[in-house]
Structure 1
């Protein structure tokens, strides 16, 4: 084990990582946080499942270990690099990971063998942690979300010396629930299937395993760490999280500020910065033209870059589109999700030509264009562990309008009168999460937009925020070193 004067070694275990494979914000975190830690002197490596996109994107792959039988088939462990320079360990098990499309879903349904698929990832993570596969003994294993929740369970089942364990909850709503009769196939002892272990209302709960058997539990914002210990937001695990409250904490995410940088972004038509935002007007005009919106500099342009789900408050946005249009605003939407919401936005675009534009799906360059060209970004989530799009909005001077929940409450300073006068307001918050409160927030946005000096102050304050991984990485370093010092 490393002491404070030696290089800390760290194994991340996760199901996705940008730029190799991405379905959501987890990939952005796993792609950026280890790199930030590497800059701080940490020997950080990331274990990923060998989905086709991961295998295709792996640079300089070398076989590091062979496993003759892993949950029903042979497997190999590759070491290589992501295009970003991240040190990656890939579990290549074609019988588990050679699947097309979404890594978790088969159409609209969850893949029925996800338990075996991610148990295998966790088991291999536990074996690497014990030094049995790569001859490497990490000081700390940092597992992320339910897909990696069993790492701690496998280590607990074996017993003996092990690295320190950190488990991060990115979204408590997704817990990895599977039938109890699958326990034997997972290779875990029956004794673990109990209330103080893996059992959750008669099912196996992968995320609960991470909470129960890890040394520290983190979430992706301090407010969310408190919210999930309440019955209202605890998703059935609030009691357990309260009992472990002394090891539960929140650290706000960052974003990769080299990827999200309006001064150097190749996906936007004109660069700009906090020193001069003139280029943002060109980005707005280009975006309006591209999406078929009226090219009007004085029309406040609101954007949405989101999964289209009830959690994200998408129904609230749909209900208030007539208000946005009536007050002279425009709306551009990028996302996918519930069919009813997709259809609702498509119909809104037809009903309000030149005022509403909808792109169903996800397009990374278009996401950059929206952040650069819009005036406001809407994030009215009913709960939000951290949120990343509002951080991108801050970086691009696209003023966030957010519900006062989770990481949104932690990252946005509301444009109340005192904050406006002090020049520190970075966005607009509202509560409760209702159509009425959201409507009032939109009215405030129109008022601020019409006051050009006030809007410019909010834009500048937003763009001055440090949304990089520098501060969060420092907080994680404190957490890791605190764990090591607990020997």
Structure 2
């Protein structure tokens, strides 16, 4: 099967979140299963042309009643199978992508020309296929920036070499939809009849994701539970009706994790590797974590870890809200240590600095460090994720792989990957709560800390149980293949 991934991000080239990890990891998993996979992303300013190979000749893209010209570069995705490498193509257009930022900058969070930037990019994906004489069986789009790919396929491109091509659109986060003034619609080169037929209309605006959801042959999101949540008014972000309408073609497929990168048996970023058979390395990681964050080296005190974006989606209001968040009370009342790294909203960053200065058992670092992220996953006893909503989540799966027990809200992919602790039986892999309130977070952290001190055998068994679970991308890739096949061979 030939599959073209169209995306705005892919590691290691451009990343703002889990989308980039998922695109590259899924592509590698599909290639290892024998499928021919290619990725196309924009060539942003930060991607060095000198490390890429230029495809000969300029490429014209029909948009806005005329043509935009661009260059194309290529390379092989790191980690690709030698006999079946994943080729990555980069669309190089200086006016649209030769700037800092993928979607925006701190000064301009959402570039004004984003609808035109990504309209051009989605059109360019079809031109790339023509330029390289390579036509996919499946065009796989990811989130709103490439949601026009299934629209263009359905309303104009599904003929000739694309006659048998099908489209799939993956929702990584329904909260981001690409809603812009419909004054930008002319740039798509589609007719106004298509504007309404494809579902662009959104309260006199143009909604790119909505049009993609109407147009794609198959839809999915990144966990089964989130798929169900998005069909409700509470978490549907006004598109729940569309998703209920498309429910026969919509499913949730859990993201995997890169077990080559996130594996305590092979992790070179840890002071000592460890496994289910020998957990001594986890104790070494805890010691190193306490030194790294200048915490007292008490091996018998539980550590709560967090690696997060400091945004409302991640539940930071209920945890760190000045005067009402629960973090202060947790650290004041409980015999524990709390370590966090993250960046995001300025009020939250300032509150973390304040807490770090006032509490001896709370340490936060603003920013992101790969080394510290791995150290927290391995050295912490619990990992806290009080998300408002979580399409899939990766850190809870990293935590389970490292024998660190998640404390999570019962939502989205968190509910699909963590099973709640049962005090009587000692079963489960983590601790869960339902309401996103300071008291719910406080009580659940307290429950986990109580179990740590009073049910150590339960804690140990839960760690082992979590480490034995299979969150590999190969498992998820096989479900994607089944979805592709159902699109290519629809039931009568």
Change (3 A) 1:41 1:418: farther
DSSP 3-state at the match of 1:45? strand
**SS in structure 2 at match of 1:239:** helix
- By how many angstroms is 1:70 displaced? 6.4
Distance 2:424 2:125 in 1: 50
Matched residue SS, 1:28:
helix
Q: Name the SS for the 1:302 alignment partner.
A: strand
Change (3 A) 1:379 1:137: same
Shift of 1:370: 1.1
Aligned 1:63-142 pairs, distance under 5 A: 63=55, 66-68=58-60, 73-85=68-80, 86-107=86-107, 109-128=109-128, 131-142=129-140
Please, which moves more after superposition, 388-397 or 61-70? 61-70
Separation in 1, partners of 2:287, 2:336: 14
- Cα pair 1:20 1:58 within 8 Å, conserved: no
Q: Are the aligned partners of 1:57 and 1:82 in contact in 2 as well (CA < 8 Å)?
A: no
> What aligned pairs does 1:381-392 form with structure 2 within 5 A after superposition?
381-392=387-398
SS in 1 for 2:295: coil
- Compared CA separation, residues 57 and 382, structure 1 to 2 (3 A): farther
SS of structure 2 residue aligned to 1:109: coil
SS of the aligned residue for 1:193 comes to: helix
Which of 265, 269, 294 matches 2:271? 269
Query: Would the alpha carbon gap of residues 302 and 166 (structure 1) be closer, same or farther in structure 2, given more than 3 Å must change?
Result: same
Instruction: Tell me the CA shift for residue 321 of structure 1.
Output: 1.7
Does the Cα contact within 8 Å between 2:61 and 2:120 map onto a contact in 1? no
Cα deviation for residue 65 of structure 1 reads 5.1
| Equivalent in 404, 416, 435 of residue 432 of structure 1 | 435
CA contact (8 A) 1:37 1:44 kept: yes
- Could you tell me how far 1:484 is from its partner in structure 2? 2.1
CA drift at 1:276: 1.2
Deviations 1:452-485 (A, max 9, x none): 2111111111111111112111111111122222
Does the 8 A contact of 1:58 with 1:82 survive in 2? no
> When the two structures are superposed, what TM-score results if normalisation uses the length of structure 1?
0.93
Q: In 2 relative to 1, CA 364–312 (structure 1 residues): closer, same or farther, beyond 3 Å?
A: same
Quick one: which of 367, 372, 376 aligns to 2:373?
367
Contact 2:46 2:100 in 1 (8 A): no
How far residue 111 of structure 1 moved from its aligned partner, in angstroms, is 1.1
Kindly state the Cα deviation for residue 294 of structure 1 after the two structures are TM-superposed: 1.6
| Contact 2:198–2:211 (CA under 8 A) maintained in structure 1 | no
| Range that drifts further, 173-182 or 50-59 | 50-59
Q: 1:37 to 1:68 in 2, by over 3 A?
A: closer
Q: Tell me, in whole angstroms, the C-alpha distance in 2 between the residues paired with 1:426 and 1:200.
A: 42
CA deviation string 1:139-190 (max 9, x = no partner):
0011000011011112222143251110000000000111011111232222
**Greater than 6 Å deviation, 4+ residue runs:** none
Counterpart residue number, 1:150: 148
Shift in Å, 1:133: 2.3
The correspondence of residues 227-376 of structure 1 with structure 2, limited to 5 A, is 227-318=229-320, 319-325=325-331, 326-353=333-360, 355-376=361-382
SS at match of 2:219: strand
Q: Does 1:37 align with 2:30?
A: yes
- The normalised TM-score by structure 2 is 0.92
Could you tell me how far apart the structure 2 residues matched to 1:56 and 1:427 are?
45
Query: CA deviation digits over 1:394-441, x for unaligned, max 9?
Result: 111111111111100000011123662xx4x11111112222222221
* Cα distance, 1:127 vs structure 2: 3.4
CA contact (8 A) 2:150 2:167 kept: yes
Residue of structure 2 in register with 1:467 after alignment: 471
CA contact (8 A) 1:65 1:133 kept: no
Task: Give unpaired runs (5+ residues) of structure 1.
Answer: 1-7
Query: Is the contact between residue 79 and residue 88 of structure 1 (CA under 8 Å) also seen in structure 2?
Result: yes
Alpha-carbon distance change, 75 to 316 in structure 1, aligned in 2, over 3 angstroms: same
Structure 2 unmatched ranges of 5 or more: 81-85
Q: More deviation in 456-465 or 61-70?
A: 61-70
Query: What's the secondary structure of 1:372's corresponding residue?
Result: helix
Pairwise CA RMSD: 1.8
CA distance in 2 between partners of 1:10 and 1:58 (Å): 24
Q: 1:208 to 1:346 in 2, by over 3 A?
A: same
Partner Cα separation in structure 2 for residue 426 and residue 147 of structure 1:
36
1:249 match: secondary structure: strand
Residue 447 of structure 1 and its aligned partner are, at CA, apart by: 1.5
2:103–2:109: 8 Å Cα contact kept in structure 1? Answer: no
Secondary structure at the aligned position of 1:387 is classed as coil
